[in-house]
């Protein structure tokens, strides 16, 4: 049945275009690119609205992510949104797939559904799905924090990002720098990179006492508990490697009456949604998510066209300074 209740903003969201551009396409105004027209047509078909699409249905690309646990924050949500926009822009349909330990594996159903390929974001339960899809000969590009075998991959080099964060804080005069990392497949690499950087830059042994580490499971409460340990260790600066941990540090500092950044400097590594509007605006070592999404889709299209060589990239983040860190002061 044809739908007639779809809003202009909803079409704009799915197509990755502005509402004004969608309006010009729908009114058949001149000056609109063929790419924009195709993106709107694919969005209309996805929403169940009749359009001027050709008879052949567009290819479906699955975007696979692990379910978010409890009050945790999805560290790949921005990348997901950027990936979906680019899938529509190349004339394909995006299908969001969520995996979890209590959910049945969707791999076989996706193959039967006829998905043309899949972008797998992150680890946890999404990792096994990437392997299952590849075993079913579905082209897969995986974007995650750790290196894996058997699929095309784009590795987010958190170790280099941590080194950048440590260097920046040392430059500001900090010597008691702690790190908070999530308990995942990249935890050991993150901790090793942190201790290596601390040892090289501060000329210390970087033992637990000299380089405090806190690991936490999912959720802001777990992040706050991990942060408590770092603040009890008298850290003047903390590097946080997940959104939940970052919020946990902010909550822990608030409970202890510490001001960020006057009493405690905070630097995040990786994705932090709305980092520029949090109080204080958070400095980050982060990635160009738009470029990452474009690379993932370009490489997936290449695999879908029959290319035999699996992509293997390692991407380094960049430092974005805002207002959450200051030169060290005695407290």
Distances (CA, A) of 144 to 6, 85, 113, 121, 148: 34, 19, 25, 6, 9
Among 36-45, 53-62, 108-117, 261-270, the least confident range: 53-62
- Give strand pairing partners of 181: 215
For 211-235, how does the pLDDT look when each residue is reduced to its tens digit (9 = 90+)?
Answer: 999 998 877 888 888 889 999 999 9
Q: If you average pLDDT over every residue of the chain, what do you get?
A: 86
Find residue 269's DSSP bridge partners: 285
CA distances from 106 to 54, 89, 110, 113, 235 (A): 29, 25, 6, 10, 44
Write the DSSP assignment of 248-274 as a string of letters: HHHHHHHHTT--TTTT-EEEEES--TT
Angle, in degrees to the nearest 10, between helices 243-255 and 220-232: 60
- Is the pLDDT at 244 greater than 60? The verdict is yes
Calpha distance 34→277 (Å, rounded): 36
Residue 79 near residue 289, CB atoms below 8 Å: yes
- Residue 305 per-residue DSSP state: T
The pairing of strands 318-320 and 283-286 is antiparallel
Q: Name the pTM for this structure.
A: 0.70
- 146 versus 281: the higher-pLDDT residue is 281
Contact between 221 and 248 under an 8 Å Cβ cutoff? The reply is yes
Rounded Cα distance, 167 and 202, in Å: 10
CA distance 4 to 238: 51
- 68-85: average pLDDT: 80
- 162: helix, strand or coil: helix
pLDDT, tens digit, 9 for 90 and up, residues 15-42:
888 877 887 777 667 778 888 888 887 8
d(CA 179, CA 25): 49
Give the pLDDT mean for 239-246. 90
Question: Model confidence at 282, in pLDDT bands (50, 70, 90)?
Answer: very high
Question: What was the pLDDT predicted at 76?
Answer: 85
The pLDDT of residue 164? 94
Strands 318-320 and 177-182 turn out to be unpaired
Q: What percent of the chain has pLDDT over 70?
A: 92
pLDDT confidence of residue 50: 52
* Per-residue pLDDT tens over the stretch 39-59: 887 877 777 665 544 445 678
pLDDT at residue 121, as a whole number: 94
* Better pLDDT: 327 or 73: 327
Task: Pick the range with the lowest mean pLDDT from 13-17, 188-192, 289-293.
Answer: 13-17
């Amino acid at each position: 049945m044809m739908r007639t209740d779809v809003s202009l903003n909803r079409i704009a969201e799915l197509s990755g275009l502005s509402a004004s551009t969608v309006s010009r396409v729908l009114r058949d105004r001149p000056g609109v690119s063929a790419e924009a027209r195709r993106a709107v047509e694919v969005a209309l078909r996805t929403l169940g609205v009749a359009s001027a699409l050709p008879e052949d249905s567009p290819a479906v690309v699955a975007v696979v992510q692990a379910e978010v646990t409890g009050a945790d924050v999805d560290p790949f949500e921005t990348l997901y949104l950027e990936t979906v926009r680019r899938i529509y822009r190349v004339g394909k349909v995006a299908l969001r797939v969520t995996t979890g330990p209590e959910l049945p594996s969707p791999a076989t159903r996706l193959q039967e559904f006829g998905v043309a390929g899949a972008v797998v974001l992150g680890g946890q339960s999404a990792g096994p799905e990437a392997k299952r899809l590849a075993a079913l000969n579905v082209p897969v590009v995986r974007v995650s924090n750790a290196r894996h075998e058997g699929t095309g991959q784009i590795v987010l080099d958190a170790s280099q990002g941590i080194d950048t964060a440590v260097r920046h804080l040392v430059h500001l005069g900090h010597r008691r720098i702690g790190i908070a990392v999530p308990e995942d497949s990249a935890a050991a690499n993150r901790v090793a990179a942190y201790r290596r950087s601390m040892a090289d830059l501060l000329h210390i042994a970087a033992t637990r006492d000299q380089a405090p580490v806190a690991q936490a499971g999912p959720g802001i409460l777990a992040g706050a508990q991990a942060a408590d340990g770092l603040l009890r260790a008298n850290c003047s600066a903390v590097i946080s490697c997940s959104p939940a941990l970052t919020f946990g540090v902010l909550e822990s500092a608030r409970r202890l009456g510490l001001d960020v950044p006057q009493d405690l400097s905070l630097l995040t590594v990786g994705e932090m949604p709305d980092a520029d509007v949090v109080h204080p605006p958070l400095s980050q070592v982060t990635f160009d998510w738009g470029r990452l999404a474009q690379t993932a889709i370009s490489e997936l299209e290449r695999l879908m066209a029959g290319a035999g060589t699996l992509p293997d990239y390692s991407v380094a983040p960049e430092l974005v300074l805002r207002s959450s860190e200051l030169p060290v002061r005695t407290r």
